[in-house]
Amino acid sequence: MSMEHYDQPKSLDEALKYCNYVFTIVFVIEAVLKLVAFGLRRFFKDRWNQLDLAIVLLSIMGITLEEIEMSAALPINPTLIRIMRVLRIARVLKLLKMATGMRALLDTVVQALPQVGNLGLLFMLLFFIYAALGVELFGRLGELG
């Protein structure tokens, strides 16, 4: 799912593309069957079902963007397509349903994310202060030489 490398053979590229199609079709079928079996209300009540649906939609959007980029119908930034390819790794999170210990760890990480955001903002403020201080102290060194 994320096996791209420099000077990749065309056969590996084609094989990865078809594997992506197969996995996406399997996940779409699974999501549709769960939606039909549980019903709309019970399906969206479980967070794991919401994650599954988000992974399916991201996979479909990634395939669509790749096909649009191949046909060059719309000018799309290739970085967006690379990001969509990286998001395929989120499919691995579907396997965490069975592992209760990993599931508890993932729940803990999700609960800690707001504090990580606050810490990131604090670091950004600290870096900004040091950048302003560096420009003030060393900004005129180029003029001296």
Q: What is the per-residue pLDDT for 2?
A: 61
Tens of pLDDT, residue by residue over 67-122, are 776 666 556 666 666 676 666 667 676 666 667 787 788 788 888 888 888 999 99
> Residue 138 above 80 pLDDT?
yes
Q: Is the pTM of this model over 0.85?
A: no
List, in sequence order, the alpha helices (H) in the chain: 10-45, 47-71, 78-86, 100-138, 141-144
Looking at residues 31-47, what average pLDDT do you find? 91
End-to-end CA distance of the chain: 53
Give residue 17's identity as a one-letter amino acid code: K
> Measured between alpha carbons, how far is 58 from 52 in angstroms, rounded to an integer?
10
